[in-house]
Structure 1
Amino acid sequence: TARADARLLAAHACGVGPDGLDGVSQAPAPPVLEEYVRRREEREPAELIVGHAWFMGQRFELAPGVFVPKPETQEIVEEAINRLSGLLSQGKTSPLVVDLCAGPGTMAVTIARRVPDARVYGIELSQVAAQAARRNARGTAACIVQGDACEAFPEFDGCADLVVTNPPYIPIGLRTSAPEVLNYDPPLALW
């Protein structure tokens, strides 16, 4: 991810989006870029350095203690969008989508933006992450709540058209050696 990280850091230092670097002159790099590079060399995720992540062309605000979206999540979202498109083409109206373990709202918000006919609800246990998800959901129909996924939305039992989740994925007792994950992603999102 070195090239992607460099573009993200440079774009943020120059005050442009990741695609805006092409229009930046060959002027010397802003001094803050050196600080960003130092922090990245210490293995702090580039997304946390700049305070946001780009996912499927959309910007998601992050904060310390919030899971950084991973590229693999795009596969889940693409499959969800394909399944919802199939339901809509079969005449289903307002399909109900529930995102368990919503983190910063990456899946719920993207689905709500890409499939505006869907009713999208997300739940996140972490208060900090739920707040970030609600900020990211502004301007969409996605509804994000803070709470336990095991007890989420009892009113939807048996009637959700699609459930998506990116739950904690490291088995208890195992450790990861990636400092970006181990030192910066919240343990609640990992184990």
Structure 2
Amino acid sequence: MPARRAVLASAVERLRAAGVASPEHDAAELLAHVLGTDRGRLVLVDEVEPRAVTSYDALVARRASREPLQHLTGSAWFRHVELAVGPGVFVPRPETELLAGWAVEQALALDEPVVVDLCTGSGAVAKAVAHEVPHAHVHAVELDPDAHAWAERNLAGTGVDLRLGDMATELEELVGTVDVVVCNPPYVPLEAWESVSPEARDHDPHLALFSGQDGLDALRVLERRAAVLLRPGGVLGAEHADVQGASAPEVLSRTGRWRDVRDHHDLAGRARFVTARLAR
């Protein structure tokens, strides 16, 4: 039987040659998935059975073709919760965990917070908030039926109120009562098509990626809807592209409806999300 180190080394080289950004990590994750263990326990494996090697080679080939790692394993971790993901839903990114953390902090400061996650996708942010703030009343909205089906699966048993619909019109019964609106909207400009990684461009739903010529069309809709849903003094948090560190906050500032408009950086120092408070 081939040695685990040799199997991994071969996979790493294949993924590196294919341009995969994290070949060592992905090779280990896939082998752990095939063996029914986790990356931390791979060191306990000395040899890999031929049948497992065959299954592993097939997954490595798919990853080398730039199919998302999470589609191959069927799951993604987001903060402290695990999500089922696959074709038809946007794979949650680590950067969005910071936005979710902001929403958690805002909700924890209130006795009975009402939190709305618009463009929920897989349900990642809504599930994280419900998990970390069990006394929160969490609502989530998703427009795409395929993504909604994944969110329905991920949010089952969490108490989150999930709706299939347009963020511009849903949750009319909550108008003027919401404490926190959080959203990871589509924000890639149409002209940036070629710059999007193959994993996202070829596998994530385009509805979750692209948003007009400047990438801010969805944020403009979000700004208007959040201003209606939030109570006076309620807060809004929205992710954006790293090149929108000035233009995204301006969408909020220019309306005159918001105060304390502030942009936040991710752990790599890139502009990542904007927050604001609805003026009284």
Using structure 2 for the length normalisation, give the TM-score: 0.62
Check 1:3–1:157 CA distance in 2 against 1; reply closer, same or farther (3 A cut).
farther
Answering whether residue 122 of structure 2 is matched by residue 104 of structure 1, we say yes
Quote the sequence identity (%): 37
1: CA distance between counterparts of 2:39 and 2:83? Answer: 13
Answering whether residue 103 of structure 2 is matched by residue 84 of structure 1, we say no
Answering whether residue 163 of structure 2 is matched by residue 145 of structure 1, we say yes
Deviating 4+ runs (over 4 angstroms): 17-20
Q: Which residue of 2 aligns with 1:67?
A: 90
Unaligned runs of 5+ residues in structure 2 are 1-21, 211-280
> Of Structure 1 and Structure 2, which has the larger fraction of its residues in strand?
2
Moved more, 1-10 or 108-117: 1-10
Q: 1:17 offset after TM fit, Å?
A: 4.2
Q: Which residue of 1 aligns with 2:48?
A: 28
Deviations 1:49-76 (A, max 9, x none): 1221121242211121110111111000
Q: CA RMSD in A?
A: 1.6
Q: 1:20 offset after TM fit, Å?
A: 4.8
Check 1:48–1:98 CA distance in 2 against 1; reply closer, same or farther (3 A cut).
same
**For the pair shown, which has the larger CA radius of gyration, 1 or 2?**
2
Deviations 1:123-157 (A, max 9, x none): 00111111111110122111211111111201111
2: CA distance between counterparts of 1:81 and 1:7? Answer: 31
Q: Which has the higher contact order (CA 8 A, sep 6+)?
A: 1
Count matched residues.
Answer: 185
Answering whether residue 38 of structure 2 is matched by residue 38 of structure 1, we say no
Q: 1:15 offset after TM fit, Å?
A: 1.5
Q: Is the 8 A contact 1:134 1:143 kept in 2?
A: no
Check 1:57–1:35 CA distance in 2 against 1; reply closer, same or farther (3 A cut).
farther
1:151 alignment partner, SS class: coil
Q: Is the 8 A contact 2:126 2:138 kept in 1?
A: yes
1: CA distance between counterparts of 2:66 and 2:209? Answer: 18
Unaligned runs of 5+ residues in structure 1 are none
Answering whether residue 206 of structure 2 is matched by residue 187 of structure 1, we say yes
